[in-house]
Structure 1
Amino acid sequence: MLKIQNLHKSYSTPQGPLPVLQGIDLNVARGSSLALMGESGSGKSTLLHLIAGLDQADSGSIQVAGQDLGQLSESQLAGWRRSGIGLIFQQFNLISSLSVADNLAFQARLAGRHDRHWQAELTQRLGLTQLLERYPEQLSGGQQQRVALGRALAARPALVLADEPTGSLDEASSNEVLQLLLELLDEQATTLLMVTHSPRVAARLQRRVTLSNGRLAPADGL
């Protein structure tokens, strides 16, 4: 599903180029889950942004379902982000002016894949049925993250990228949200790449790798 080869990325600083990723190689099978770990500033979010097509690598390649992202134009990348992937962020990134129902449908409508039956099932599974007319500011953190999950999954993407999706939640809410996410992804055979600092969260995923000094290594021999 995801194939990364010899990926390099650096940023310009007054002191010169700052290498962040130095020859990343990674393969993630379709329908599997991978936790990406590492210290703050190690480049985890940078790697996620490159995979999402939100930034460009200096060299190397990223292929998702056989599509080389480096060969896509900006407009093609934008279209691919709408339909090919689901993004989940630590800070939810819900649209404050939209109701829960409209936030849930937002991504699927952009992708041209809005399915009211699937959205109704997601709404029920995520425990949001009684909250559809509320707005993000009227929800708890756990409820907002459930909406974010539903939005990301509503278009049935083949790949979900999650950046610390439970990092701002208490442990109980984190466990509930993570369990729902893994169940829904497993049923849809959706691939998951999750950035997390939490060994407890990472242990729930099938594989774990650590990013350190710009390179990847297995976190636990897997």
Structure 2
Amino acid sequence: MLIVEDVHKAFATAQGRLPVLRGVDLQLPRGSSLALMGESGSGKSTLLHLIAGLERADSGRILIDGEPLQGRGEAELARWRREGIGLVFQQYNLIGSLSVAANLAFQARLAERHDPAWVSYLAERLGLTPLLQRYPEQLSGGQQQRVAIGRALASRPSLVLADEPTGSLDETSSETVLELLLELVGEAGSSLLLVTHSERLAARLAHHLYLHLGRVQPRES
């Protein structure tokens, strides 16, 4: 479903170009899950941004169902983000002026894939049904993260990208949120690429890779 081949990315700094990714390779089969680990600053978030089309690789290829992201215009990349992927980040990125119900349905409506029955099911599974008329500022961190997960899955994307989605939660909440994420990703028929520092959480996923000095190295499952 997702293939990354020899991807390089560097950023301009006052001291010159700083290489972040140095020939990254990975594969994620359809319907499977992969945990990407590595030290802070190793390029994990940069790789997710490239896959999401938020940044462009300097060289190499990123293939989605055999079709390259390279060469796509901004409108095509925006469509990929809107219809093809669900994004879950540590910061939640909910829309403060919208209710929980509206936040849940937001991306699915943009993608013209709003299914009220599926969104209602997500809200129930995520424990959000009593909170649908509240606003993000009225929720705990764990509740906000569950809204973010529901929003990402509401359009049944082919790929979910999760960047440290439990990083700001306590251990118990992290376990609960990850369990829900894995179950619902499976029910949505999506693939999951999860960035995490936690070996314990990573062990719950099917495949594991480690990013070190800009290169992805296999880790024992």
TM > 0.5:
yes
Instruction: Give the aligned partner of residue 133 of structure 1.
Output: 133
Cα distance in 2, alignment partners of residues 193 and 64 from structure 1: 13
Deviations 1:8-51 (A, max 9, x none): 00011122111110111111100110000000000000000000
| Structure 1 stretches lacking a partner, 5+ long | none
Instruction: Please show how residues 107-126 of structure 1 align to structure 2 within 5 Å.
Output: 107-126=107-126
Instruction: Give the aligned partner of residue 61 of structure 1.
Output: 61
Cα drift, residue 189 of structure 1: 2.5
| Structure 2 stretches lacking a partner, 5+ long | none
Cα drift, residue 218 of structure 1: 1.1
Cα distance in 2, alignment partners of residues 174 and 15 from structure 1: 39
* SS of corresponding position for 1:178: helix
Cα distance in 2, alignment partners of residues 12 and 188 from structure 1: 39
Cα drift, residue 80 of structure 1: 1.1
**How many pairs align?**
221
* SS of corresponding position for 1:71: coil
Name the TM-score, length of structure 1 as normaliser. Answer: 0.98
User: How big is the alpha-carbon RMSD for the aligned residues of Structure 1 and Structure 2?
Assistant: 0.8
Cα distance in 2, alignment partners of residues 200 and 158 from structure 1: 26
Cα distance in 2, alignment partners of residues 68 and 112 from structure 1: 24
Name the TM-score, length of structure 2 as normaliser. Answer: 0.98
Instruction: Give the aligned partner of residue 71 of structure 2.
Output: 71
Cα distance in 2, alignment partners of residues 72 and 155 from structure 1: 22
Instruction: Please show how residues 157-172 of structure 1 align to structure 2 within 5 Å.
Output: 157-172=157-172
Cα drift, residue 124 of structure 1: 0.6
Cα distance in 2, alignment partners of residues 102 and 186 from structure 1: 24
Cα distance in 2, alignment partners of residues 76 and 150 from structure 1: 24
Instruction: Give the aligned partner of residue 177 of structure 2.
Output: 177
2:192 counterpart of 1:192: yes
Deviations 1:60-105 (A, max 9, x none): 1101122211121001100111000000000100000000000000
Cα distance in 2, alignment partners of residues 82 and 106 from structure 1: 10
Cα distance in 2, alignment partners of residues 39 and 53 from structure 1: 23
The percentage of aligned residue pairs carrying the same residue is 67
Task: Give, as a single letter, the amino acid of the residue that structure 1 aligns with 2:68.
Answer: D
